[in-house]
Structures are given as C-alpha cells and as structure tokens.
Structure 1
C-alpha cells in the first residue's frame, strides 16, 4: 500500500501504554477536536497514529501541524483504500500495550484512557468493552463497534489473520470484534469510559446505509468471512450460539429492522439469514435457544417475510405494555431502594 511517513515519525518501544489510532478521510472540520481530546487525557503514556486515507481537504496540514508539536504523534498517508485499510495500517505500526481506535469526528472524555487502561490491567483483559451501554450487555455480546473496543496488542498479534476486512463496509467493525470475541474468554468491561459520538449528515455510516442495494450485496461477503473463520478455528461446535447472535444483531437487527429496505430486499435478506441460521441451529441445544430473541426465532422459522412486520409490531406493542405494567407494579413497593433497583433491572431487560 503506497504512503509516506511524516518527518516526525519515531521508533516504537514497549514502554508505550496505549496506541490511539485515528483513521482520517476528509474530516478536517472535526479532526482537531478528536486529537485534542486525546492530548487532554489524564493518562499521558500514549501515542497517536494519524492514518490519512487519501483526504483531499485540509486534514493533512492539520495532522502535520500536530506532528511538529508533539513527538508522541505520527502521521501516515495512504491512497484512498477505505477505513478498514487505514485501521489495519495503524495497527501494524502500533507500539502500545493496548490499542484503541478513535474516529476522527468523535472525541473522548478526559479520563477515558486512564479508566480503560486500569480496567484492562485489573481484569487482565484481551478485550475490554468500554462504555456503560455496551458493558451492561456483556452477556451474549456478539459484536461491538470500534468505539467500545480497547484491545491488548499482544492478543491481536497472536491472531494476525483477524483484521478489519477490507472492501467491507458497513459491518467491518462487527466482523472484526465478533471474531476476536470468539477467540478469548478474557473479556472485561469499563462502564466508566465515556465516548462522545458526533452526529452529522456526512457521517460515513449514514451515507453507506442509505445505499441499501450496496449493503445487500455485502451481506453474502460477511457470511463468507464468517464461514472461513469458523472453519479455520473449528469453532462451530462450541460457538454456534455466538454466531447466531451475531446474525441476529447485524444483518437482522441493524439491517433488516433498521434500514429502509424494499419488500424485495427484505425478502432476499430474509432468505439469506434464514438459510445460514438453519445450518447453525443443529449445533445448539434447546437451553441455548432461550438466549435468542423470540422475534428472531420467528423470523428464521417462517417461509415468507411478508407477514413478519405485522408480527413484529404486535410483539413490540405487547412488550411495551408489559413494561408499563411492571413499572406500575414497582411503584407499589414501599422500599425506595428496592424500587430503584427493580426499575433499573426492568430497563435493562426491555432494552435488550
């Protein structure tokens, strides 16, 4: 992959605590805020790798300005090859004990790196799930976005074949994290890590998800990656449920339910998901099926997806009625502390 190092590039050494990798493509408007949020961290033993994926705005000049002012910052330019390629280049050059990927239009709370480093060390984690939202979903977690992944570099180096799949987007972060989660039980959490996610119209995932036909063409490629991974590591016998939960989360939850698909696209996606999950079901027991949501089990059992929307709307309505009833009953409990704990448990139950 072509590219050139900035004049400020320095040798890596094992004393670096965290490598923060920032892939960049035409984000000059927000880039300084992202970099500054790292420079303001209470944790100081880090390096920043700025990976410019062929930007044609002022991103390069902004990066070089930071490189000249702080020896912990390095810059790499590559011809436009996509965010996966940019992250992989950063990972290949990282020297920290841990690796974290920050999007160039987002930013971090000042204690993000410190709390994550401490949690990873205390829990001896290969993968640390960061943030309150994802941390409370650790049980049955099948994939997480890059913003929630704090990774031990030694663990990544043991599996050099597991990298962000290039020419895949969306779902490149889901596939990457799903495979890593299948390869270790050393998974910890840091609910205190606060990530500031910026919403704006030029966000890459918004542009990609609006191209429904493009996403539909990618789904078979996702399954091909998963097939190869599970075959290579011989994991179906032990991790079939993990894979089914991924199918529920990504192609079903984030694409079928959330994207504005045509009826034809819904029918096509239903058949793809149903067919692959049918291959996986013989590998799980009846007790494991209880961990799969009722809507998804119904979805993969029906022949025609045309009636699913009616089923799903009824299901959501019924669950909302249950939640209102539970909260009403909780109000009748005299002990304030118990009411608070039960409300929290109910919210978590219905948010799953």
Structure 2
C-alpha cells in the first residue's frame, strides 16, 4: 500500500462541542492504524470549537478542516464524505471516542472480506442478519460503494432518524456485509445532544415522519425492492416510527392517533402486501397487534395490559429474591425497571 493512500477517512461533524471535541480528535490520533485522515466539518459553531479545530490542523497534516454556516448534521456529514479520500469512511460524533484498535480491527475485516459495509460493535453485530438500520458509529463504509449510489446520502433537514434512513438504504443495496464485534466505541450521553432536544419537540418529529416515508417509498420504487426487501422495510418501520417514536416518546392522545394513522397507512400500502406469512412472524407480537388494532385506543388498552403484566412479573421476582440468594445488583436492576415503567 503506497504511503499516500488513505485507508480510512474519519469524518467528525461539529456543532458547539468544545467540551468534548479534543477527546474525540485525540481518540482518532491515537488509532493504531497509520494511513488515516481526519475531516473536521464545523457546522457554524458559536463556541470555541473552531479554535480547537484550527489548532489541530496546524499540528497535523492529515487533519482537514472545513467550515459551513449552520446547515445541520446531515449537510456536515455529506460534506465530509465529499472531501474524503480513504478507501473506507467512518463517521465519528464530536462528543464520542473510540478505543485505539477500533479502526484497524474494522478495516482489517473490511479488506479481508472486501466488504461494502462492516457492522461495528457487539450490540449491532448481535442483530445480524436482520439489521434494519445502524447508527453512524456502527458502520465502516466502503467509499467506492457509496460512490456507486450518490443519491443515498444523509437526508437534509431530517433529525432524528437521518442515520437510520441513510444506513437502511445502504444495507438494502448490498450483501457484502461483515461483522466487527470486538471494536469498542464510547458513546457519550448528555442533555445537550441534538436528538434529546429534538425528541422533546414531539410535533416536529411527527411532522418529519411523512418525509421519512416518502424517502423510503421513492428508494424502494427506484430499485424495485418492495418484494425482495419487504421484511427489511417492515423491521425498520417497527423499530424507528413505532418503537422509538410511538412507544418511547411522550405523546398526547392526538399525537398518538396521528402517528398510529401514519404508520398504518404506510404499512398497509407499501409493506404488508409484500410480506410473506413467515416474514410476518418475524415482527414482534406487539407490532403485529398494533397493525391489526381498529383504533389507537384499542392498542393503548392492549399495551397497558402488557405493561401491567410485565410489572407484576418483576414484582414477583423481587418477592422471590427474599428467599433466594440473588445478588444485590440484580435486585437494584429489577427495582429500576419498575421505576422506569411507572414514570
């Protein structure tokens, strides 16, 4: 491999992350793979992020810095991809870090298997082969593969789910997928994360979901994938708009009714007609009931009973702990589950 050839391009989109940015940059510089480049895309930060970027650009020839007016994380990632020269591309969030063997582990697997996508991390790999989407940090992507499909990019103006829509489409376009379960990525959770802020505005998220569905409809029609990838699409709808939005977001009755209708219409029109009976069995029992319920109130009543049953089971386990020598850690974990369900 020539000295000038870049193995992996790491793209970091940046927006007001001065508290964490240096840690993210250092975790890239500490990687034990030599032929990498780091692409920093500043999405109009108003804090000290620009000064931090400029400092590292001066010190390291393989770090490239770009500034854009605030346009969103999708535009920043797409800009980084456009500037990338590596054989593979990895997207690192500016508030996260990775262990020093992370890129080499995944790149070695990519080269040995000539993969278009390397699924990274034990959690993501455990879902194989029914992976319907990946977070940005859960995939190493072959740049040549991305160049074959220039229309598949992070959707502009979409957040959350921009990484889900991007990865879902890529996963549908190749079977050259390999796994790198032993690579560790350190995902930082904090209150200022964009997806936390956005999810607090339920109406904004619901307004975007028809756009998600339109992106999916156009993609599946363009590549004639409705029949061959019906389960792939069904699992995505089950995970993103149903589990992550309908079940986990704080929605009022009007919002629940609206989302219930959106999901049902899309599934009935674009997905269910193409699912085999065996495919349907791979959907969760809860989602299958959701699709068969007459109204959202019918589903809510069923879901409440399911949750009550789960709580009763957990309380029974806690009662039995009095008589069996389970660890204190397990007891606390069960108690925390009850607390989460009651909140």
TM-score, normalised to structure 1, is 0.86
- Note if 1:248 corresponds to 2:238: yes
Distance 1:211 1:87, change over 3 A: same
Local SS of the residue matching 2:90: strand
* Aligned residue in 2 for 1:305: 296
* Aligned residue in 1 for 2:129: 139
Distance (Å, rounded) in 1 between the aligned partners of 2:4 and 2:73: 26
* Aligned residue in 2 for 1:294: 285
* Aligned residue in 1 for 2:257: 267
* Aligned residue in 2 for 1:38: 28
Local SS of the residue matching 2:61: coil
Distance 1:283 1:73, change over 3 A: same
Which runs of structure 2 are paired with 1:1-352 in the superposition (5 Å)?
Answer: 15-279=5-269, 280-315=271-306
Q: CA RMSD in A?
A: 1.8
Distance (Å, rounded) in 1 between the aligned partners of 2:251 and 2:26: 39
* Aligned residue in 2 for 1:4: none
Between 1:277-286 and 1:154-163, the stretch displaced more is 277-286
Give the C-alpha shift of residue 316 in structure 1: 5.2
**5+ unaligned residues in a row in structure 1: which ranges?**
1-12, 329-352
Local SS of the residue matching 1:125: coil
**1:89-132 CA deviation, whole Å, 9 max, x = no partner?**
00001000000000001111111101111121223211111111
Distance 1:129 1:207, change over 3 A: same
TM-score, normalised to structure 2, is 0.88
Give the C-alpha shift of residue 162 in structure 1: 0.2
**5+ unaligned residues in a row in structure 2: which ranges?**
321-343
Distance (Å, rounded) in 1 between the aligned partners of 2:125 and 2:114: 16
Distance (Å, rounded) in 2 between the aligned partners of 1:291 and 1:165: 28
Local SS of the residue matching 2:6: coil
Give the C-alpha shift of residue 309 in structure 1: 3.1
Give the C-alpha shift of residue 210 in structure 1: 0.5
Local SS of the residue matching 1:104: coil
Between 1:299-308 and 1:51-60, the stretch displaced more is 299-308
Distance (Å, rounded) in 2 between the aligned partners of 1:43 and 1:14: 14
Give the C-alpha shift of residue 139 in structure 1: 2.1
Distance (Å, rounded) in 1 between the aligned partners of 2:96 and 2:302: 38
Local SS of the residue matching 2:25: helix
Q: Aligned pairs, how many?
A: 313
Between 1:26-35 and 1:282-291, the stretch displaced more is 282-291
**1:56-94 CA deviation, whole Å, 9 max, x = no partner?**
111111001000001010000011100000000000010
